[in-house]
Structure 1
Amino acid sequence: MRRNVEVKARLRAPAAARGAAERLQERGAGEVLVQADTFFRVPRGRLKLRRRRDGGGELIFYERPDAAGPKLSCFSITPTDDPDGLEAVLGQALGILGVVRKERLLYLVGQTRVHLDSVEGLGDFLELEVVLTEEQTVEDGERVARQLMKELGIEEQDLISGAYLDLLLAKGQSGS
């Protein structure tokens, strides 16, 4: 499985975070991604089918602790050209927990994917994914994440645990 160190936080100042991400990025402008993630019931970890605007998708399985702050995430991704068919089969077999819809601005800063997310029903968030090389430790990724948090103006009280789906479900919404 591939690994990264992740951080998820509420954005109190989306425009300031965007300006900082634009200054830090190494190439191109922030790419806009429109995504809908359907989460399935599984015995461990999380399994989601991500649909993209172009009609394609990817099935993503990941395991990470539901804790605030930098945390290790281990994941596998498989692309699909038939997200509708895959959702139908997985929905029948496993059941659907809910759907998260978001518009994401993607910035690449070194080995980190910086996401500025506008999540339907929740608001604005920042997500960092520090992609680890085989030789890097989790602690290496945590250091990178903490440094970027400072540069992007993210405070400890902004950090959240879990997934966007957890926040939607806590509000009584499934996004379906």
Structure 2
Amino acid sequence: MSRVKMAFLLGLIDESERKRLALVAKIRNEFAHLVQDLSFNSARVADRCRELSPPTELVPPRYVPEILELEKLHEFKTPLADRDDPRALFEEATLFLVYVLKGRLAQAKSRRPDSPPPFKNAAEPAGEYLAHAMVAKRRAIENNHPQEEIAELTDLVAKLANIVVFAAAGANKSAPTG
């Protein structure tokens, strides 16, 4: 899940892909860590498989005829998984994710941004982190998160603001000789 979060934060995958990958991880964990008998027809797993299922227009074809006659192309339909079969939905959704992730990889390779410029001083990375922490604090307040979380974010903002001020003032520069 840490790789999924990182890919999302880097803008390599979108929110729906992040959610679907998280669901795959949860389903995998159900099978890996539960001692009881479990199948795709178990209520929790089946519900997650239905939630995981991609929109039908995004389902990649499992089979494409070797020869496509252009005049008959409109007749070609992608066979969809049985909506009442959780295992088939899981297979369809994971195939979908493989195609999507390969597409995202191709996108990332073709539009890879230049390397970011190096930071000039310690205030710059702290300032970036400060801006992120301030937004997180605002969202936590707006979404009525627990007071402990808001207090932690308030402390973080204060600490980062101090770091920015001291670093910008040259706290890490050596004293002039003379």
Fold similarity call, TM over 0.5 = no
Say which structure is richer in strand: 1
TM-score tier by shorter-chain length is: under 0.3
TM-score relative to the length of structure 1? 0.23
The answer to which structure, 1 or 2, has the higher relative contact order (CA under 8 A, 6+ apart) is: 1
Say which structure is richer in helix: 2
Larger radius of gyration: 2
